Structure 1
Amino acid sequence: MQLQVINSPFNEEQVELLNRLLPKLTESQKVWLTGYLAAAQTGDVSGTAPVTAEAPLAQTTQASVEQIAKSIEKEISKEVTILYGSQTGNAQGLAEKSAKTLEEKGFQVTVSSMSDFKPKNLKKVENLLIVVSTHGEGDPPDNALTFHEFLHGKRAPKLDELRFSVLALGDTSYEFFCQTGKEFDQRLEELGGTRVYPRVDCDLDYDEPAAKWIQGVLDGLSQAQGTSSSAEAPAQEAAAPQEEKPEYSRTNPFRAEVLENINLNGRGSNKETRHLELSLEGSGLTYKPGDCVGIYPENDPVLVDMLLKEVKWDPEEIVTVNKEGDVRSLKDALTSYFEIAKLTKPILKQAAQLTSNEELINLLGKGNEAKVKEYLNGRDVLDLVRDFGPWPVSAQDFISILRKMPARLYSIASSIEANPDEVHLTIGAVRYNAHGRDRGGVCSVLCAERLEPGDTLPIYIQPNSHFNLPENPETPIIMVGPGTGIAPFRSFMQEREEIGAEGKSWLFFGEQHFVTDFLYQTEWQQFIKDGTLTKMDVAFSRDTEEKVYVQHRMLENSKELYQWLQDGAFFYVCGDKDNMAKDVHNALIEIVEKEGGMTREQAEEYVNNLKKEKRYQRDVY
């Protein structure tokens, strides 16, 4: 209930002060306040005048309330903890950016990966921000698994004193969009926490909603402090003017010139894997082994033309593509700004507002989630236009339902120490037939079919602090990378060769055929020859009657592999998440169980400890 002058013995100024203060109090603070006021009336509180004829109750209460308000405001901590769960580095980058914004406003911020945070310290945190992505079909990122399990387990503490907010990253083309962020948000509330700002769910184009989230968080924290988020930051000593240099990033990509574009597969292979060499000269960009490159591709011009022909709109019509008012021709917008090769459920829902097609409306009806998922699989915007017309709307209205073209991330396949001002990539061309049409990966087919030396690509570097070489170059490493998963390990080996690392290294590589699909074969043979690579085991699944994969080679070498782990080796996996990574993980547990003489539960704990020690790292997709 709000205090008012007419229902209390307080004047207008006191009422305003109390109404600002009381909603912020915890139960323990309210109990303390009751005792404090009682003591104030007897003169037992230092610095508070007793109630006398010369100092009436209202005056004493005014002084007490003001003193309590100052005391409580001091108790509201300016310390903020930001925990991130990140698979590709996006969540980490946003966490660090948010920390910088808060620090500029006078908050003391601690940023930590969830895997580095000690769960027992959660009870001590008063202001918690969660920035987390969702991986695959609703799974937490690798470095969020332990914290996620703890928070949803029986050992999670009550968090009645906690103020929190969640920024969730996801992809609307997946069924369980932002699932991990939603789970954290719900669980923190269940444990007693109070939201300082509502959860924000971000699609692949997350910059704008993320900026609104951090501003909302800042406003909420500032209100709790009784200050304004627009307050000026502390004055700093003026720095000498410096020449402005462009800073290339995800929002300001660098146009990198293509130096080489080579097919790594031999004649007769049913695969096409491109080795791409890009120039970084003049960009100022640098990277570490394990980092990724983000590429903003263009849509297939054939698909763009088919779509324009279907809708019969003028390709040269000028349309506005974003809230900032940027304009382009319709054809340019469909080619390089919007994603048209993939459908999502939000696009279907918005499209239903643009047409009277009953089939689409019925498809989106209650209880049809499975049918919607089935329809979305393998279809694009051209399918949508053809299946659910007519579209009695303008081109501007139609493109407003499309989402911005997201970048495609690829593991870097080179060391900048070995290749100054260059970055190399390993990209497998994706081609398939679905629903009566040939289709392909937007970026991979661009690289395979339409990209020549001398062309340029808009790129940026995506740091990946969760997939790095050991700091000690003498530490042994085990690398499992079938197919294009070989890319970061080429980077690892180049780096280890350049710095003269003496630690042992072991590669497990797999593909279909030895003759046509042994990616970078001569380089691996040279690494073996000069001692940079200690041991290599390969599995070519189509060369034998019974298919053999990398996990089988691991099991064949179980005793030696376990000994490497016992000697402190780091274990790396890169490649397919849904099948290969799971099979490799299970093989690793089986090896530890067998060679370590452990139960299954003990072996699983051993492998989990490898993760906690950052000796088991994965870059899976």
Structure 2
Amino acid sequence: MKLQVINSPFSEEQVKLLNELLPKLTVEQKIWLNGYLSAPQGAIKAVVEEAPLTIAPMTKTVTVLYGSQTGNSQGLAEKYAALLKEKDVEVTISSLASFKANNLKKTTNLLLVVSTHGEGEPPDQAIQFYDFLHSKRAPKLEHLHYSVLALGDSSYEFFCKTGKDFDEQFEKLGATRIAPRTDCDLDYDEPATQWFTAVQEVLLDSPETAISSEKGEEDTKDSKSSYSRKNPFSAEVLENLNLNGRGSNKETYHVELAIEGADFHFEPGDSIGIQPENDESLVDALITALQFDAESKVTVFEESLTLKKALQNKLEITVLSKPLLQKIGAYTVHGDFVALLKDDTAWKDYVKGHDLLDIAGDYAPFTWDAQQFVALLRKIPARLYSIASSQKANSDEVHLTIAKLSYENNGRTRLGVCSGSIAERIQVGDTLPIYVHKNPNFRLPEQEDTPIIMIGAGTGVAPYRAFLEEREELGIEGKSWLFFGDQHFVTDFLYQTDWQRWLASGTLTKMNVAFSRDTDKKVYVQHKIEENAETFYEWLEQGAVIYVCGDKKSMASDVDQALHRIIEQQGQKTAEEAKAFVNELKQQKRYQRDVY
């Protein structure tokens, strides 16, 4: 409503000025002005005569949320929140699991750092908030200013889908972007830094006041150690032992690494990242197939080196993705390759089990030179392996459990980049470049005597060895129950003597095993869980925390379905009530998953 001149103490010109100003004032500014004008006249006169009126800038408030499965998003969110606090920004930081969705109505500035899990799915801790935001209950958010940093892996079809979904939904609900969404691949440091710089320039109103995010510690860096993902520690191999017996279909290696001098600090549930190299014979074959000179110089990540060293030490050559195929398409007119790109089913089938050597053989010739070729490729991603030991029990060592990936395709044996090296080339006395990767979403309970239920198949049992070694070292007497599955009892019972020793001492209370190839009808861990449904539910009622580690698509999915059925049947709940119960377990960190 406009001011009227009639019966007003203001002149027409003053009314005009007031009518121009008042609609532009925020609620906070109006409140401040009202208080200022309500002060005693003498006080106002004294202030005005002493100095011109100056209004202190209002404190910026920012909410930083994260949705993280393995800890990367949480690490970045915590780093950026700390940097903003250094500039007197009032920051609230929270996981999506802990954030009350209704608080969106009170939030003005929101930064969201979120990863995408599996085939385009939100992380476990983000599911409930994701569902709320996409439901009819989601509020209008015209008052909200936001920006999304999305983490993902471009080798998956639905790259950064969770971040994209959040970004689009905020916009649909009326929110305004502070800065455009940034989608990060596995090597996320540089694009994440650029995103944060853009966000700061808007939030802090001036490019000059923006803070360098390089100042904060890298999220994969241990707080006490100078070693990190960018600067790995060279750890000597103390032991490299195949755990599987003679005649097994598998090779699973127990690897012990010396970490004295690294100043690493890790907890059960954390992982070790290994920076691997490509197999030299595969690199040589690829260079020959592409008819390049192995000693020709190329520039990779601002470093000049030979083509062979670039392909062996720096660049990924074993994983194909849709983005990579599209880049390759610019350098070939091969009819079959063009058809492959256009057919969704065809390219998805092709990328499974094939690599760049297959591309070179199947779709030559190409018009690229060596520099153009390497410019298409991303860095070799580090491989993460769950730590299988307690630092409290083994202060100068870290143990890993690594399964060799090996298969035949097109008459050629294919090996996992890191696991193949561990199995076939790494000897005791060699060194591996490693760093600690924190995973705050897979942790022993804060209340030490809380019952725990551990579920895993194959190498998924690794973190539970760390859990029980830690509990043994600390003398914790809480109940523990392990469900373990593999193929054969005789050849594949990983760490059998450890479990038996802990059962005898009481560190491990119960254990159920499922060896799928030892019976006519295949039996898996989810079957053993359902066989013990009544006791399983009793442990849940006693406050037990459930852990699941291993393959996401089959084992973890089947276990999740079994958990829902047990809660329905034993708790006499509907399917919807069971789903809500499971979501509540996740919110309370009583259902934690480290799945891949």
Q: TM-score, normalised by structure 2?
A: 0.89
Aligned partners of 2:140 and 2:173 also within 8 Å: yes
Instruction: Give the alignment partner of residue 169 of structure 2, picking from 187, 190, 200.
Output: 187
> What's the CA shift for 1:361?
3.0
State the Cα RMSD in Å.
2.5
2:326 to 341, 349, 352: 349
Conservation of the 8 A alpha-carbon contact between 1:42 and 1:51: no
Q: Quick check: 1:287 aligned with 2:266?
A: yes
Q: Which residue number in structure 1 is paired with residue 459 of structure 2?
A: 484
Matches within 5 A, 1:422-461: 422-461=397-436
Equivalent-residue separation in structure 2 for 1:221 and 1:436 (angstroms): 57
Q: Partner of 1:340: helix, strand, or coil? A: coil
Q: Structure 1's 497 and 156: CA in aligned 2 closer, same or farther, altered over 3 A?
A: same
Structure 1 residue aligned with 2:128: 146
Of 166, 172, 178 in structure 1, the residue corresponding to residue 154 of structure 2 is 172
CA distance in 2, matches of 1:617, 1:137: 19
Cα separation, 2, equivalents of 1:619 and 1:577:
9
Distance 1:79 1:568 in 2: 37
Question: Displacement, 1:167?
Answer: 1.0
Distance in 2 (CA, whole Å) between partners of 1:421 and 1:41 is 85
- Which runs of structure 2 are paired with 1:106-185 in the superposition (5 Å)? 106-185=88-167
Alignment partner of 2:330: what SS?
coil
Alignment of 1:38-437 (within 5 A): 38=3, 50-51=10-11, 71=29, 78-223=60-205, 227-230=206-209, 247-322=226-301, 325-365=302-342, 368-437=343-412
Output the CA distance in 2 between the equivalents of 1:194 and 1:232: 23
Give the one of 481, 485, 489 matched to 1:514.
Answer: 489
Deviation of 1:62 after TM superposition, in Å, equals: 8.6
Which digits, 9 at most, give the CA deviation of each residue in 1:208-245, with x for residues without a partner?
1111111111112233xxx4453689xxxxxxxxxxx9
Q: Which deviations, in whole Å up to 9, do the C-alpha atoms of 1:118-171 show, x marking residues without a partner?
A: 111111111111111111111111111111011111111110000011111111
Deviation string 1:281-334 (CA, Å, 9 cap, x unpaired) is 111111011111111111111111101111222212221101xx2122111110
- Which amino acid in the other structure matches residue 294 of structure 1? G
Contact 2:315/2:379 (8 A) holds in 1: yes
Is the 8 Å Cα contact of residues 268 and 387 (structure 2) preserved in structure 1? yes
How far apart are residue 433 of structure 1 and its match?
1.6
Question: How big is the shift at 1:58?
Answer: 7.4
Q: Any conservation in 1 of the 2:297–2:305 contact (CA below 8 Å)?
A: yes
Over 3 Å counting, the alpha-carbon distance change for 1:293 and 1:42 in structure 2 is farther
SS in 2 for 1:353: helix
CA contact (8 A) 2:204 2:210 kept: no
After superposition, the Cα gap between the structure-2 partners of 1:84 and 1:229, relative to the gap in structure 1 and judged at 3 Å, is: farther
SS in 2 for 1:591: helix
Structure 2 residue runs of 5 or longer lacking an equivalent are: 31-54, 213-223
Superposed displacement of residue 95, structure 1: 1.2
**Greater CA drift, 477-486 or 607-616:** 607-616
Cα distance in 2 for residues equivalent to 1:41 and 1:254: 80
Distance in 1 of aligned mates of 2:87 and 2:8:
39
Per-residue deviation, 1:70: 9.8
CA shift at 1:382, angstroms? 1.0
1:11 corresponds to:
none
Query: What is the CA-CA distance between 1:255 and the residue it aligns to?
Result: 1.6
Number of aligned residues: 562
> AA paired with 1:332?
K
Deviations 1:241-295 (A, max 9, x none): xxxx972112222222111111010111110001111122111111011111111
Deviations 1:359-404 (A, max 9, x none): 3234334xx2222222222211111222222233321111000111
Structure 2 letter corresponding to 1:567: Q
In 2: Cα distance, 1:292 partner to 1:139 partner: 22
Residue from 567, 576, 585 that aligns with 2:542 = 567
Q: 1:606 to 1:70 in 2, by over 3 A?
A: closer
1:410-450 CA-to-partner distances (Å, cap 9, x unmatched) read 11111100110221111111111223322121111111111
The answer (yes or no) to whether the contact 2:186–2:381 under 8 Å persists in 1 is yes
Task: Look up the match of 2:217.
Answer: none
Aligned residue in 1 for 2:220: none
| Identical columns (%) | 55
Q: 1:155 to 1:62 in 2, by over 3 A?
A: closer
Residues 112/66 of structure 1: CA separation in 2 closer, same or farther (3 Å cut):
closer
Helix, strand or coil for the counterpart of 1:560?
helix
**1:549 Cα shift?**
0.9
Counterpart-to-counterpart distance in 1, 2:464 and 2:210: 48
C-alpha distance in 1, partners of 2:566/2:241? 38
Q: Which amino acid aligns with 1:341?
A: T
* AA partner of residue 615 (structure 1): R
1:82 maps to a residue whose letter is V
How far the C-alpha of 1:39 sits from its partner, in A, is 7.3
Given residue 206 of structure 1, which amino acid in structure 2 is its aligned partner?
Y
Secondary structure of 2:276's aligned partner? coil
C-alpha distance after superposition, 1:21-61 (max 9, x if no partner)? xxxxxxxxxxxxx65xx3799868xxxxx337xx7677777
2:563 maps to which of 561, 584, 588: 588
Q: Secondary structure at the match of 1:481?
A: strand
Tell me the equivalent position of 2:532: 557
Distance in 2 between residues matched to 1:166 and 1:451, nearest whole Å: 41
> Match for 1:279: what amino acid?
A
Say which is worse superposed, 458-467 or 347-356, in terms of deviation. Answer: 347-356
Paired position in structure 1 for 2:480 = 505
Alpha-carbon distance change, 136 to 231 in structure 1, aligned in 2, over 3 angstroms: closer
How has the CA–CA distance of structure 1 residues 576 and 68 changed in structure 2, closer, same or farther, with 3 Å as cutoff?
closer
State the alpha-carbon separation in 2 of the partners of residues 40 and 540 from structure 1.
89
1:231 and 1:571 map into 2 onto residues whose CA distance is 43
SS of residue in 2 equivalent to 1:364: helix
Secondary structure of the residue aligned to 2:331 is coil
Question: What is the alpha-carbon distance in structure 2 between the residues aligned to residue 512 and residue 41 of structure 1?
Answer: 91
Letter in 1 for 2:230: T
Q: CA deviation at 1:527?
A: 0.5
Given the superposition, is the C-alpha separation of residues 589 and 392 from structure 1 closer, same or farther in structure 2, using an over 3 Å criterion? closer
Separation of aligned partners in 2, 1:232 and 1:534: 52
1:474 is displaced (CA, Å) by 1.1
Partner of 2:38: none
Counterpart contact for 1:480–1:507, Cα < 8 Å? yes
Any idea what the Cα deviations from partners look like across 1:488-547, whole Å, max 9, x if unmatched?
A: 100100010011111010101111111100000001110011110011111111111111
CA distance in 1, matches of 2:405, 2:155: 18
Alignment-derived partner of residue 42 in structure 2: none
User: Is the 1:51–1:60 contact (alpha carbons within 8 Å) kept by the matching residues of 2?
Assistant: no
